[in-house]
Structure 1
Amino acid sequence: MTTTTAQRAASPVSAASAGYRTLWRWHFYAGLFVMPFLLILAITGTLYCFQPQIEPLLYPHRLIVEAQAQPQLSRDVLLAKARTAMPANAVAVTAPIETAPNRSVEFVFRLADGAKQSVYVNPYSGEVLGTLSVENRFMQVDRMLHRKLLLGKPGELLMELAACWTLVMLGTGIALWWPREKTTARAALWPRFALRGRALWKNLHAVMGIWLALGALAFVLSGLPWTGSWGKQFKALATSANLGAPAGSWGGLPLRSALPGDHAAHAGDMPAAPAAPAAPAVPDASQAKAEAKAETEAMPGMVMDDLPLPLTPWAVGNVKVPESTEPGGMQALSLQRLVALVASLGVKSGYNIALPTSPSGVYTVSYFPADPKIERTIYIDQYSGAVLKDIRYSDYGVVSQAVSYGTSLHMGRYFGLANQILCAAISLGLAAMAITGCVMWWIRRPRRSLGAPSRERAPPPMRGWKTGLVLLGIVFPLMGATLLAVWLTDGLLFRSKHELAS
């Protein structure tokens, strides 16, 4: 018997599964790329899941007030108080509406340099409690780390690639640990703590991977629709196939609101509300008027994703924002009256209003609750108060409905604290996978070599896996390009190099 034959006979793994080393090699490459990003995603994702609990602890003097029996001041008075804390050329762009008696009232202003600043006001006394930079707020930094590594578009593409390569890592990892020959399902699903050294690390890594695979897959599939490259194209495709955005969002419905004199035509769209004097939605300063004119010129192409809203339902991201016809000197609807109108439509708290910043703007109400079935996006004429459009979950296409549920679960919002804990367990489990994978590589690493698993002596057919990778590359073109690059690099640079056999 030759040495090569003896080595093959002594290798139960090779005998048990042709292609094992090929799978291991691709699992190694996927892990090599994904693991650093996986640690960042796990930590930032866990923190973001607990945003409702963390933020009041970080900013208690701004967010929390003492609940009182007296009625709160009107939103218009509170907005006027908030303006006093901002430069004269700052423009109010967003009004988050939260009715909890122990929470302050927040308004978001856009400054002259484009930065956004939140102002917090005591709803009972009108005292300005402080300000926070929207971009530098802890949870916003955490969110941008999670989505873009704080690197803008390049970081967003890197995170998208990491998510796609996680699919390769999951698939190859499950295939490597799948019970074969005398291995039982119990042995594959339960760690063997009697093992020592690298064998123990490998067993823990594999068993954790099997348990976490479903959750990791759900994280990837629910996160990809929000990515800036593939997610944007997927949204456009779903919309064009009438599976995404609500019917009429790309045309077919009037997008210009009526003049206040035509309010009777919309009488069936809004409940009656007493008239009340109100301050204009924009300052009277000449600079603000110039900014409003510039925004009005850009308004025809504006969609929901362009509005200064912290979160909006995925389904409405490409929906065109309606316009108002300039009223010829008439006042805009007061903010207090608008809040009462929205409450009469069934949305009482936990939503954001994008304020009109030009004479042709509309009030945009974005309600993005934990339960996707009650999501709402409402456009309201800033002068007449007519409801121009009320988009609900039932108006979504089937793809958007699925994405809405996936998003709520992904963010740990759907079933409360239990959902947050489950997401944290999966995230931290994936971080542990990254650590155990690095420990295994460190233990077996050779000197002056990358340490990739050795090749099969004869390339196995593996038609199913090759087909799967090709399909992944077609569905995710950015990933397809990197798959091809890795395959070429592996073949050209490492084919002749001696690497660790096992």
Structure 2
Amino acid sequence: MKNRKLNQWFWKWHFIAGIISLPFVLVLSITGAIYLFKPKVENPIIENIQKIELQNQGEKLSYDQQWEIAQKNSKRKLNSVIISNKEQSTEFISGRFGGKKSIFIHPYSGEVSGTFQAKDTWMYKVRKLHGELLGGKIGTKIVELIACWMIILIISGIYIWFPFSKGIKGVFTIRFNEGKRILARDIHAVTGFWISILLLLILAGGLPWTDVFGGNFKKVQKWTNTGYSKTWRGIGLTSTVKEKRITLDEMITIANKENLSGTITLGLPKSPKSTFSVSNKTFPLSDQKMIHFDQYSGELIKSHDWSDVGSLIRGRMWLMAFHQGEFGGWNWYLVFLVAILLTVMSSAAIFSYLWRKPKGKLGIPKQPKNFKMSNGFVLVLITLGVVFPLFGINVVLIFLINIFRKPKEISKT
């Protein structure tokens, strides 16, 4: 038998978390499902730009010649080139992350085939809505807070609903003939139970992008030396300065000998003393490498593989890739299904609340009488507040409001 007062306490906090979160959860689940189609939107655009005619093209331009043309037509300094053995326009890149922009050079004519920047697509708006509710820094913090409350919703929801009385049958049963409120409640509870673990994994994959938790996570990586090493990023590695740097064609020939899989990027030297950096984005993640070469001699300076990556960054990269459905078809369909079911579950919760809410009242459950949180529960709340600072601040504010406000009603589950 469950502790009745503890169950009532959990119900109150599940209710509060739902009131705070559900409207935003609907936005995040819908935009998340749409954003999974990003490659299907962007890849055809890029492929069309890269397409070239192979007849009567003449002699192919060197990569250095193409780079000079690209740099003249780029407002920003180029930092890398994509190595490809296909007969297509060469992609040169400036900027990073959201500011990344590609300029494509026809390898035979030297013409600019086109440019591509994710910011110019409608999918970028979806991303901004999903990641920050179009609200900039404030928006990202709201999304982070909602993600924290979703974790509380999942944990408290499982405890409240778990079918001790109905047995295991309750995990599978949706009652269609007992009224619309019961139907909505069962859709919410049963669906929530089955996607709970996957949803926690997806939330864990999204949290590293947040400002507060994500920033603190990076600090922990640095303190514990469990992130990327400095030399992975080329820090501390230098080339022996000579009169002339090797050509891009020579460097690309050296890079191709590494037989890397996936999308191969050649990072250009940032200064006369820095290095060429060859990396690949591929799956499984364990096949990723980062290799640094002397920009004057082409000699290998440092080679990193996945075994050189710290444990925290490994977990972080795995979860972030899972969050975006990047591990293949099974991953994409699984995350898409969770996003759809989360939308259904959240909608059902809203309807269930509206159909049970007393007229003219919010229907917020009371704190159970004579209920005292155990030291264990207090410790759990403090721990969650430390790990998720925005959640901790939010809980303190709610408790303060609760102290100065006398509840007027007790709502039944």
Deviations 1:73-107 (A, max 9, x none): 543343344345435xx421232334455x54322
Q: Name whichever of 194-203 and 223-232 sits farther off.
A: 223-232
Report the TM-score when normalising by structure 2.
Answer: 0.86
State the partner residue of 1:363: 276
State the partner residue of 1:45: 32
Deviations 1:5-39 (A, max 9, x none): xxxxxxxx9x9733323212111221222223323
Deviation of 1:200 after TM superposition, in Å, equals 0.4
What pairs with 1:266-277 in structure 2 (closer than 5 Å)? none
Is the counterpart of residue 23 in structure 1 residue 6 in structure 2?
no
State the partner residue of 2:155: 171
State the partner residue of 1:148: 132
Task: Give the direction of change, closer, same or farther, for the CA distance of 1:106–1:229 in structure 2 (3 Å limit).
Answer: same
Deviation of 1:407 after TM superposition, in Å, equals 2.6
State the partner residue of 2:349: 437
State the partner residue of 1:327: 241
Deviations 1:42-97 (A, max 9, x none): 2333344333322134555325556889896543343344345435xx42123233
Amino acid at match of 1:223: G
Task: Give the direction of change, closer, same or farther, for the CA distance of 1:147–1:339 in structure 2 (3 Å limit).
Answer: farther
Is the counterpart of residue 473 in structure 1 residue 395 in structure 2?
no
Is the counterpart of residue 205 in structure 1 residue 205 in structure 2?
no
Equivalent residues of 2:364, 2:409 under 8 A apart: no
Separation in 1 of the partners of 2:55 and 2:399?
66
State the partner residue of 2:249: 336
Separation in 1 of the partners of 2:305 and 2:203?
26
State the partner residue of 1:303: none
Is the counterpart of residue 105 in structure 1 residue 63 in structure 2?
no
Equivalent residues of 1:198, 1:440 under 8 A apart: yes
State the partner residue of 1:32: 19
Separation in 2 of the partners of 1:68 and 1:33?
62
State the partner residue of 1:496: 407
Deviation of 1:384 after TM superposition, in Å, equals 2.5
Is the counterpart of residue 55 in structure 1 residue 38 in structure 2?
no
Q: Any idea what SS the aligned residue of 1:204 has?
A: helix
Task: Give the direction of change, closer, same or farther, for the CA distance of 1:134–1:411 in structure 2 (3 Å limit).
Answer: closer
Deviation of 1:244 after TM superposition, in Å, equals 3.3
Task: Give the direction of change, closer, same or farther, for the CA distance of 1:459–1:48 in structure 2 (3 Å limit).
Answer: same
Separation in 2 of the partners of 1:67 and 1:453?
71
Q: Name whichever of 172-181 and 476-485 sits farther off.
A: 476-485
Task: Give the direction of change, closer, same or farther, for the CA distance of 1:245–1:57 in structure 2 (3 Å limit).
Answer: closer
Q: Name whichever of 170-179 and 68-77 sits farther off.
A: 68-77
Deviation of 1:166 after TM superposition, in Å, equals 1.5
Equivalent residues of 1:366, 1:377 under 8 A apart: yes
Amino acid at match of 1:422: L
Q: Name whichever of 433-442 and 55-64 sits farther off.
A: 55-64
**Contiguous gaps of at least 5 residues in structure 2:** none
1:131 to 103, 108, 115: 115
Separation in 1 of the partners of 2:99 and 2:202?
31
Q: Any idea what SS the aligned residue of 1:19 has?
A: helix
Task: Give the direction of change, closer, same or farther, for the CA distance of 1:392–1:36 in structure 2 (3 Å limit).
Answer: farther
Separation in 2 of the partners of 1:451 and 1:411?
37
Q: Any idea what SS the aligned residue of 1:211 has?
A: helix
State the partner residue of 2:321: 408
Deviations 1:97-124 (A, max 9, x none): 34455x543222469xx96542223446
Equivalent residues of 1:324, 1:382 under 8 A apart: no
State the partner residue of 1:313: none
What pairs with 1:238-253 in structure 2 (closer than 5 Å)? 238-246=221-229, 249=230
Aligned residues: 411
Percent sequence identity is 28
Amino acid at match of 1:170: I
Amino acid at match of 1:75: Y
Q: Any idea what SS the aligned residue of 1:18 has?
A: helix
Deviation of 1:178 after TM superposition, in Å, equals 0.5
Deviations 1:382-417 (A, max 9, x none): 223233322211112333333333233222122x11
Equivalent residues of 2:239, 2:275 under 8 A apart: no
Task: Give the direction of change, closer, same or farther, for the CA distance of 1:163–1:235 in structure 2 (3 Å limit).
Answer: same
Equivalent residues of 2:366, 2:407 under 8 A apart: no
Amino acid at match of 2:260: V
Q: Any idea what SS the aligned residue of 1:156 has?
A: helix
Normalized per residue, the structure richer in helix is 2
What pairs with 1:409-424 in structure 2 (closer than 5 Å)? 409-414=322-327, 416-424=328-336
Q: Any idea what SS the aligned residue of 2:152 has?
A: helix
Is the counterpart of residue 86 in structure 1 residue 74 in structure 2?
yes
Separation in 1 of the partners of 2:300 and 2:182?
65
Is the counterpart of residue 192 in structure 1 residue 175 in structure 2?
yes
